[in-house]
Structure 1
Amino acid sequence: MATLKKDSLIKGTLILAAAALVARFLGLFQRIPLDYMLGDEGNIAFSAANMVYMIVLMIATAGFPSAISKMVSERYALGRPDEAQRIYRAGLLFGAVAGLVLAVSLFVLAPVFATIAKKPGIDLAVRAIAPALLFFPIIAMMRGYFQGRQMMSAGGTSQIIEQFVRVILGLLLGWIVLVLGWGDRWAAAAITFGSVFGGIAAFTVMLRFGRKLKRQDAGSRRTYNAEASAAFMPSRPAPSRMPASTLRYRTIYKEILSMSIPALITSVAINFINLFDVTFFMRLTERFYTEAEATLELADYGIKAVSLAGIPPILAIALSSSIIPVISSAYSLKRMNEVQRQSSTVMRIVCFTGVPFALLLTVASYSITGLIFASPSGSGAVAAMSAATILQITMMTSNSILYGMGKQRLSMRHTIIGLVLKVVFSVAFAPFLGVYGLILASTVCFGIVTLLNLAKINKEVKLFVLGKRWFPYLLAVALAALAGWGAEVGLLAVTDGWADKLSFLAAAAVATIVVGGIYAVLLLALRVITPEDVASFPRALRGPMNKLLRIFQRGAATA
């Protein structure tokens, strides 16, 4: 393994985004055969088990990873690495204990959750995934520590390995169970049990990175002592004799909890929304659907809509993780210009990159859903959820900016307001609009939290995202969406006599090219992207983007 180095904001984001993208597509890859392997009840059991597991996992970690990332970053910035190590050990201890307690609790209480959801068949799948909680809280603490050291490759690598193992072994176990004739209920449980193997694999990877970093830190201290001795400077204590930090665990946990509870509320928001919708779907929509219709809609929602709509926010998730230690370090040193620059850059990046993916999944949802899954049923919910993710992206990113600035309580307060509105509007809309009522309520939540966050951030540092470029940017978005929708409708009409999958493939491919191409060309032609923006791009993209910018600038000059 090569030497571990600190990652810049852009590089760290790209590492986490690449890992999240691979993980998301592997998760989607797992759901595609599920649509063919399992019936509606099996799909509902798999979706519900994963959603309740994610909520319990976040409770088990209690927001500690983000808090550890922030605290470790601050300690290293202030030259107190011994305290950072003590914080890390406290996090590991908490993760081990919380994971054990909640793994047992989830296993025991699985039938209660199944009764609330009015789907008694999901208890087995919930119990099958419970043992994964023995590993993932500890893994989360380790990833938080590495993020605090601004070394994103450890968490990214472990996430990819985890997903490969989880998906492959889970599908294999599910196939074996179906071949044995045990039915959907046991097959869904077998597939969710793949998460346990994924946890073991991820834990092994993180241990390997941890040993590497420990040796590297020890070597750095020895090098420093040798140089100090040569320069007649006092040397640091040898690693074996370094005194332990006097920072008490009670003090550490008090500091962590003051940050982690707000982090827990904000990070659990999306999973809470998905779990709320799945848990109360049958109850809230019983006036709108028959029981058979509701079962079909719920299966499509959990397997198709949640999976596909989870793709656009991938970069925002990566940015949310990588921006916290960067802003925290700058804010702790009172470098407000750097806080302003990094915060503005992050918001600009999510506008440029997250929106086109959401647009594509919105305007071409019918073809994409029909191509990937057994049928295009549920494509309307896919389109609605994908459109809503535009506001979800801004909510998540602005939450992380506030967290890095030490305003985690404000972020928590705004998120709670949004979640309360989500529940209220779901109860109001779902009986009359069905699944679209639930999605509309989620959109209200995302929008309100985003507005509240941005108002508080601008009081601290004035964000400069696009300035006068907002109108041309929105024009580029609207024209790209309109062209993509027209391309999909046109191709579906032209290929009406083709095999379904071939027709969906042609329409989805053309829509992707049209949306991506027109969006990129208009951003450059309307000068939404400037040379200053390009300078913040990864090095590999700067050259091509600068060439394209010069082409459009020369064209505008000659015109």
Structure 2
Amino acid sequence: MSKKESFIKGTLILAAAALVARVLGLVQRVPLEHIFGAVGNASYTVANNVYLMLLTVATAGIPSTLSKMVSERYALKRPGEAQRVYKAALIFAVFIGLVMTVLLYTLAPVYATLTKQPEAVPAIRAIAPALLLFPTIAMMRGYFQGRGYMAANGISQIMEQVLRVITGIGLAFFLLHANYKDEWVAAGASFGGVLGSVAAFGILMWFSSKLRKEDRRQQLEDLSTGSEQLPLMRIYGDIFKLSIPIVLASLAVPAVNFIDGTLVKPLLIHQMGNLSATNTLGILGSRAQSIAGIPPILSIALSASLLPVIAAAFARGDRPHLERQITLAMRVSILTGMPIVIILCAAAYSVNGLLFSSLEGSGIIGLLTLGTIFQITMSTSSSILIGLGKVNLSMGHVLVGIVVKLIASFALAPFFGIYGIIIGTGLCFLVITLLNLRSMKAIVPFHIMSGRWTGFLLTVIVLFGAGYGLNYLGDLTTAVLPPRVGFFFACCLVGISVLILYPVMLVVMRVVRKDELGSYPRVLQKILRPLMRLQRGSAGSA
């Protein structure tokens, strides 16, 4: 297998594992929402958001930096240096894991009081021990990626989520039936994350032992004699110089969720009272954020498959190819994300009734999901910018976006309540996207959908209107059918109709054109090629 094929295969393995892990993570929230009451949902939301924020700060960027440093040294036949870099990263992981765990456990009452959700203390403390292992897990994954062992990372991610889901739901169910209070039920669900980290660590240790045996067979360890003994401070300097900008560039979504978990109750409690504010926070975290996590999954995975090609074209200085691939990556992310956004927004009421314990919060689900189209464009454009070597720019744009989020939340919440806070989230992602696109165009000129925006927007408006109407008709069946059956019928009616009509309208409105079809990922080609007979002639690509 060539290096290019191996790299692409590894990228696909990691993308598939991330996709499965993301789906499992979303699946967990549905049964937990039914198990929890308002206090449990709010407490779990606060604990999960602060944990993911700290986890991103502690690990994001360092694994990819470690991967680069390890792969370079093995390529130069310096395994001794690679091992020293790896050991230095593990020392840092143990240290930062211990510090983060102690801080999160100790400061849990302070943070819970700040969020006006004191019941969240047990849930925060229950998930704190996961931070002991996850920094080490992240370093091990970076090392395996640098050595080209992608299967270890993929399997560990999947098993982590499987055990987290099973144990989290199981512990919450047990504590509920043992008559524990809602905050302790939420703590049981949070503790599932700790057991998930144990599973991931165990799998990586097994792969690590296999790799050591293979290294001994190949006598790689013997090659370390004579290698430069790199000082620890130099290693850490190299790691942090590369990783800190990536950490900050990766913070957008965790930071936004953290801000919401922190500010929702303080901003709303005087408008609606403690009980309603608690319920609203729970709905935002357990329902809206779960549903809003669905649209980015496929579109980001598809566009991510193009990013190695973009990085390679930039390294070669192939500007025409780079322009085509950036255009394609942005276009694919938008075109594949939009139908899921339309379906979930148009059928938000039915989705809420089908999956969750009540119909409260359908508007919250719909509005937050609508803004995910900007999350999709933000994530794709940020990844492209990093691939172009402009990590500092991406980092700066995320920081600007977070400032916009804070200002908008404080400014709009007094007038629009939770909807003002959600609008702030959408504005954050939109601002980051626009800043990213401006920087990308300064490097290489490209057009996402030049001359096609009218057709695309018309497609979106028509299908949203049709989907909303079909959802209304489908909901009428709840008068004669069991409610969940009726809601399921409405969701299917909207989903099938939009998924059938969306590609047809894209072709008819010439948003997708015949002469450029070959550049799309194969899965999209299979869907669109039979429809091209609806399009007379062809037009030049944008």
Indicate whether the TM-score tops 0.5.
Answer: yes
Residue 118 of structure 2 corresponds to: 120
Measure how far apart 1:541 and its partner are: 6.1
Measure how far apart 1:509 and its partner are: 0.7
- 1:67-146 alignment, distance < 5 Å: 67-69=65-67, 71=69, 86-146=84-144
- The code of the aligned residue for 2:439 comes to K
Residue 227 of structure 1 corresponds to: none
Cα distance in 2 for partners of 1:309, 1:337 equals 35
Cα distance in 2 for partners of 1:473, 1:12 equals 34
Aligned pairs, number: 538
Residue 35 of structure 1 corresponds to: 33
Residue 412 of structure 1 corresponds to: 395
Cα distance in 1 for partners of 2:315, 2:231 equals 22
For the Cα contact (< 8 Å) 2:32–2:172, is it kept in 1? no
State yes or no: 1:264 paired with 2:262. Answer: no
- The code of the aligned residue for 1:511 comes to V
Residue 344 of structure 1 corresponds to: 327
Cα distance in 2 for partners of 1:311, 1:277 equals 19
Residue 171 of structure 2 corresponds to: 173
Measure how far apart 1:378 and its partner are: 0.9
Measure how far apart 1:111 and its partner are: 1.0
- Give a deviation string over 1:88-129, Cα, whole Å, max 9, x none: 443333222211221122111111111111111111111111
Measure how far apart 1:433 and its partner are: 0.7
Residue 250 of structure 1 corresponds to: 233
Residue 501 of structure 2 corresponds to: 518
Cα distance in 1 for partners of 2:179, 2:187 equals 14
Measure how far apart 1:79 and its partner are: 8.5
For the Cα contact (< 8 Å) 2:160–2:199, is it kept in 1? yes
Cα distance in 2 for partners of 1:523, 1:352 equals 9
- The code of the aligned residue for 1:282 comes to K
Which residues of structure 2 form unaligned runs of 5+?
A: none
Residue 60 of structure 1 corresponds to: 58
Measure how far apart 1:200 and its partner are: 1.2
State yes or no: 1:509 paired with 2:470. Answer: no
For the Cα contact (< 8 Å) 2:345–2:370, is it kept in 1? yes
Measure how far apart 1:195 and its partner are: 0.8
Residue 186 of structure 1 corresponds to: 184
Q: Return the match for 2:473 from 487, 490, 493.
A: 490
Cα distance in 2 for partners of 1:37, 1:333 equals 54
Measure how far apart 1:255 and its partner are: 2.6
Residue 381 of structure 2 corresponds to: 398
Measure how far apart 1:179 and its partner are: 2.2
For the aligned residue pairs, the C-alpha RMSD in angstroms reads 3.2
For the Cα contact (< 8 Å) 1:21–1:311, is it kept in 2? no
State yes or no: 1:378 paired with 2:361. Answer: yes
Cα distance in 2 for partners of 1:336, 1:534 equals 21
Measure how far apart 1:430 and its partner are: 0.7
Which residues of structure 1 form unaligned runs of 5+?
A: 223-236
Cα distance in 2 for partners of 1:258, 1:123 equals 35
Cα distance in 1 for partners of 2:120, 2:295 equals 29
Q: Return the match for 2:223 from 229, 238, 241.
A: 241
- 1:141-156 alignment, distance < 5 Å: 141-147=139-145, 152-156=150-154
Cα distance in 1 for partners of 2:199, 2:317 equals 40
Cα distance in 1 for partners of 2:83, 2:294 equals 35
Give the TM-score, by structure 2 length.
Answer: 0.89
- The code of the aligned residue for 1:529 comes to V
- The code of the aligned residue for 2:446 comes to L
Cα distance in 1 for partners of 2:75, 2:318 equals 12
Cα distance in 1 for partners of 2:201, 2:2 equals 20
For the Cα contact (< 8 Å) 1:124–1:186, is it kept in 2? yes
Q: Which moved more, 1:94-103 or 1:246-255?
A: 246-255
For the Cα contact (< 8 Å) 2:517–2:529, is it kept in 1? no
Cα distance in 1 for partners of 2:304, 2:146 equals 10
State yes or no: 1:448 paired with 2:441. Answer: no
Q: Return the match for 1:438 from 421, 434, 445.
A: 421
- Give a deviation string over 1:496-548, Cα, whole Å, max 9, x none: 33221111111111000111111122223344334675445555665x34751
Cα distance in 2 for partners of 1:541, 1:352 equals 10
Residue 231 of structure 1 corresponds to: none
Cα distance in 2 for partners of 1:93, 1:333 equals 37
Residue 279 of structure 2 corresponds to: 296
Residue 548 of structure 1 corresponds to: 530
The alignment-based identity, stated in percent, is: 44
Q: Which moved more, 1:500-509 or 1:530-539?
A: 530-539
- The code of the aligned residue for 1:477 comes to V
Residue 528 of structure 1 corresponds to: 511
Cα distance in 2 for partners of 1:523, 1:470 equals 11
- Give a deviation string over 1:119-174, Cα, whole Å, max 9, x none: 11111111111111122112222333455567654433222211110111111112
Measure how far apart 1:320 and its partner are: 8.1
Per the alignment, in what secondary structure is the counterpart of residue 286 of structure 1? helix
For the Cα contact (< 8 Å) 2:79–2:221, is it kept in 1? no
Per the alignment, in what secondary structure is the counterpart of residue 377 of structure 1? coil
Q: Which moved more, 1:177-186 or 1:334-343?
A: 334-343
Cα distance in 1 for partners of 2:506, 2:77 equals 43
Cα distance in 2 for partners of 1:458, 1:78 equals 36
- 1:285-324 alignment, distance < 5 Å: 285-315=268-298, 318=301
Q: Return the match for 1:207 from 189, 202, 205.
A: 205
- The code of the aligned residue for 2:63 comes to P
- The code of the aligned residue for 2:241 comes to S
For the Cα contact (< 8 Å) 1:316–1:350, is it kept in 2? yes
- 1:317-332 alignment, distance < 5 Å: 318=301, 327-328=310-311, 331-332=314-315
Cα distance in 2 for partners of 1:5, 1:120 equals 52
